[in-house]
Every structure is written in C-alpha cells, then in structure tokens.
Amino acid sequence: MKKQIVLLVILFGFIYFWKVTTSYRMPPDYNYDSDFGRDLWEMEKIVHGKPTLVGPQFSYAGLRLAPYHFYFFAPVLAVFNSYQAVVFANAGLFVISLVAAFLILRKRFSNLLALTSVVWLGTTSYFILAARSPGNAFSYLPFFLIYLLYIFYAENFSFLISAILGIVAGVIVNYHPIALIPTIFSFIFIALSKKKLSFKEKVAHMGSFFAAFFATFLPVIIFELRHNFVLIKTFFGSRQAEFFGNSGINLIDGFRKLPMLNKITYSLIPITTIGLFTLVFFLFLQNGKAKDKNKFYISIILTILYLVSGRGAVHYFFPTILFLQLTTIFLIKKYKFANLLIAILLLINIVSFPIRLFRPSRNPSVTESSFGQAIDRMSVPKSGINVFLINNTYLSAPGYEYRYILEKNGYRVDDEHEYGKSKYLLVISEGKRAIPTATNSWELREFGDRKLIDKTEIADNIYYLFQK
C-alpha cells in the first residue's frame, strides 16, 4: 500500500510540475532571446554535422568552456526539429530531478516531509524560471541538485564514485562556472569529514575526483592547442579588466549595491538568499552537530561571496539558494515542527511568487513565420552569408534566432566573428529601425563596403540583403 501511495504521489507531482513549467503562458509566448537563439543555432549546426569543441561565451571576461549543454539538447532538436521540444526537454529534466530528490529524501525522512520539501524546492520562483528557460545558466540545476543530495547523504565513497562525482561536477561547471565553488567545496568539505577514512585515503579520493573533474575540460584544452590558446589570451587580456574592473571584489561596495541589486534584478533573489542563510544559521546554532559544520561553512562562503561580488546577474544566486535550501532541509529534519516550518516556507513561495516574470512576451513562432516569408521573397544565397539584427538591444546584434532559422532551413551561415570573410550580409530591422553607420557598428565595419541587392518588408520588419 505504501508503494502505491508513493507512486501515486510521484505521478501527480510529475503531472503538476510538468503542467506548471510547460503550460503556464509557455510555448507560444516563450521568448527565445539572444542566449537561447545562440544555443539553438549551435545545436542546429551540430545536427548538420558541424561539431564544436567549445560552449557559449560567458560574461566572465570572454571565457568559454566545454559544450556539454549543446550536445545534451542537440539530439532533441534533431528528432523533433522544434525549439519547443528543447523547452519541454529542459522542463522534463527538472521534473525528473525532483522525483529523484523525493526518492532520495524519503529514505531518510517521512514521506510527508520528503514530499513537502520537494514541493518547496519545485515551487521556488528561480527553480520554475530555470525549468522554463533552457540554457547554460539554468539547465545544470537538476544535476547540481542530485549531486548535492548524494554528497549530503552518502555514507561512504568508493574511488569509482569519487571519479563519477568529479565528472558530474565538471559537467556542471562547464555548463556555468558560477557553480564552481559550491561543487568543489562541497566535495572537499564532505570528503574531509569522513571519519572512517584515513588522511591518505581522503587525499586519494580527492585525487580521483579532481582527475575526473579536469578530464571534462579536455574539449577546451584541445581547442586551445589548435587555436594558439586564444581563449586564455582573451581571458587574461582586456576582457578581464572589462569584466572585473579595477576594484575586483569590493566588500563595502558589494553591500552598498545590495538595495540597487534588488531593484534592477528580481527583488526576491537577494532577499531569499539572506533569509535562507539566516534560517540555516539559527538552525545550526540550535541543533547543529560536528558533521553539520561543513555545510554551514560552505553556506557562509557562498552567501558572502555572491552577495558582495557586486555582479548583478540574477542567475548567479541560483547555486547559493539551492545549496541553502538543501542545507535547511538537512538541518530541519531533527525538529518536531519540521513539517510546519516547511509548510510555512512553501506558503511564502506561493504568496511571494513573482507573477510578473511570466508575462507573455515575444512569440518566436510569429518571428519564424514572417522570416520564412522574407526568405522566400528574397534571393538569399545558401552560403557565404552573415546576419546583422537591429532591434532595441545591442545584445542581439548577431541575430542568433535568425541564424538558427536559416540553419534549420538548409542555409550555412558564417560565424558571428567572421563578418569580414562573408560575401553577403542579411540585415533585419525590427520595428523598421534605421541601419546604424559603420562607425557605430563593429559588425558593419568588419563587413566593409556593401551594396543593396534585395529588400522586402513584412509587418513591422524590413529585411535587407547586401553584397560586398
């Protein structure tokens, strides 16, 4: 009977979360912005036999790591030939991680506490936002969740398990380096706390972990060897100064910017981080034991680091919040009122849910339809072409979503760094905006002198085809 109840709970939980993540103002209104459009373009190139050794470029001074994110979703795109399939696959990955989390927690908690804990995780706004947003900044969270749960509750590690954890940690970090500190520190602190292991065994386990961890960076290493270490030169060059500025991490400045951070990003993220850390702090003081110290120390490090770094990207807080949530669940199980406290936290999730994050936005289906009409009207060459987009944000200049649509329809688009090599330039003006001068656009300046050979107008967009 218990097994039937558990299976029923899992089934209803799966259906509920799948409905929330995929149907709430979802596919027709999903905005595949510059990042998602870029990823789709890269995946489509992989599908058409153009593999890559590096992933997307991060805001970390031009840093690029291994492309596991592309290869994970490329088969989905190949099978279904639809961006929506990638969105659904990402949501499904989050659902599976929650089901797995429930199965792990119910072995140590009551079914009720395990279920409410998982529902609390799954209804947190950042988790739903990430589940709805396939991308390197979000899609690693399911792996990170299971990775942390295993480390939290595993009694002993074999050398093989340490190596597997190293691979998982490496893949997570290659998805996004913001997860580097929690993944590495978690393993080190937990491994060092294993009393049954001698010091030599602990060192051997960490050696196994780090050997596997660094092995996941082999694609980037091969790329660097082939391209004269261009990524390293970029990272330690002007882009590093551009990203970090002259001050680096400034504690006073970081705290001073917290109120502004609340305004320019989703206001609940920093507040949630501080609130969860405060809860972890009091739970640890009340009933913390020696083996809880490691999780508490990591909580301190993560919270301080992310709050005072001065960087305003909202997804930088996600690993910290998830770690604090799991630490809260870990510490709270020792209290009689654990179910009540989790229920209160769940209620806070519901009451404070930022509905404004899920408003209808740009409709990519309409974009693809109108662009398809433009391609049919114009004599767009099948190769030697580059794309330049004019809209309300400078981030979209390469026009990744249009590159994806072209690649999907059999066109071979040149790289966004190869405007100078391209013979043709397709310029898309959204909202009929004027074409900027070459002095104000690196892309146009790189392409050089051009002559207009075709032009068409559909709805609010104008499409220009230039030849060098």
Residues 330 and 373 in one domain: no
Residues 430 and 350 in one domain: no
pLDDT tens profile 20-58? 554 444 333 344 556 788 888 889 999 988 899 988 877
Q: Beginning with the edge strand found earlier in the chain, give each strand of the sheet holding 461-467 in spatial order.
A: 385-390, 424-430, 461-467, 451-458
Residues 46 and 89 in one domain: yes
pLDDT tens profile 75-99? 999 999 888 888 889 988 998 999 9
Q: What domain range includes position 382?
A: 364-467
The Cα-based distances of 182 to 95, 146, 169, 391, 449 in angstroms read 22, 13, 10, 38, 50
Residues 6+ apart with CB under 8 A from 299: 277, 280, 281, 323, 324, 327
- Mean pLDDT, range 442-465, rounded to an integer: 88
Residues 368 and 351 in one domain: no
pTM for the predicted model, two decimal places = 0.79
For the CA atoms of the chain, what is the radius of gyration?
Answer: 24
Residues 346 and 386 in one domain: no
Which of 331, 358, 385 delimits the end of a domain? 358
Of 232-236, 270-274, 327-331, least confident by mean pLDDT is 270-274
| pLDDT classification of 71: cutoffs 50, 70, 90 | very high
Q: Which of 95, 84, 73 is nearest to 21 (CA)?
A: 95
Percent of the chain residues topping a pLDDT of 70 = 72
What distance in Å separates the CA atoms of residue 337 and residue 280, rounded to the nearest whole number?
15
Residue 403 scores a pLDDT above 60: yes
User: Within 10 Å of residue 353's Cβ, how many Cβ atoms?
Assistant: 15
The pLDDT value given to residue 255: 42
The pLDDT value given to residue 268: 52
Q: Which of 125, 106, 94 is nearest to 17 (CA)?
A: 94
Parallel, antiparallel or unpaired: strands 451-458 and 424-430 = unpaired
What distance in Å separates the CA atoms of residue 426 and residue 412, rounded to the nearest whole number?
13
pLDDT tens profile 6-20? 565 566 556 655 555
Residues 398 and 291 in one domain: no
Q: Which of 405, 407, 452, 459 is nearest to 430 (CA)?
A: 459
Residues 160 and 279 in one domain: yes
The pLDDT value given to residue 211: 96
Residues 219 and 153 in one domain: yes
The pLDDT value given to residue 261: 39
What distance in Å separates the CA atoms of residue 439 and residue 424, rounded to the nearest whole number?
19
Q: Which of 53-67, 141-155, 312-326 is modeled with the greatest confidence?
A: 141-155
Which of 339, 358, 377 delimits the end of a domain? 358
Which of 320, 340, 358 delimits the end of a domain? 358
Residues 343 and 394 in one domain: no
Residues 277 and 407 in one domain: no
Indicate the number of domains in the chain.
Answer: 2
Q: Could you tell me the sign of the dihedral formed by the alpha carbons of 259, 263, 269, 275, in that order?
A: positive
Average pLDDT of the residues of the chain: 78
The pLDDT value given to residue 244: 45
User: Within 10 Å of residue 225's Cβ, how many Cβ atoms?
Assistant: 9
Residues 282 and 298 in one domain: yes
Is residue 288 exposed (0-12), middle (13-18) or buried (19+ Cβ within 10 Å)?
Answer: middle
Contacts of 153-158 with C-beta under 8 Å, sequence gap 24+, read 153/104, 153/108, 156/194, 156/196, 157/191, 157/194, 157/205
| pLDDT classification of 65: cutoffs 50, 70, 90 | confident
Residues 330 and 415 in one domain: no
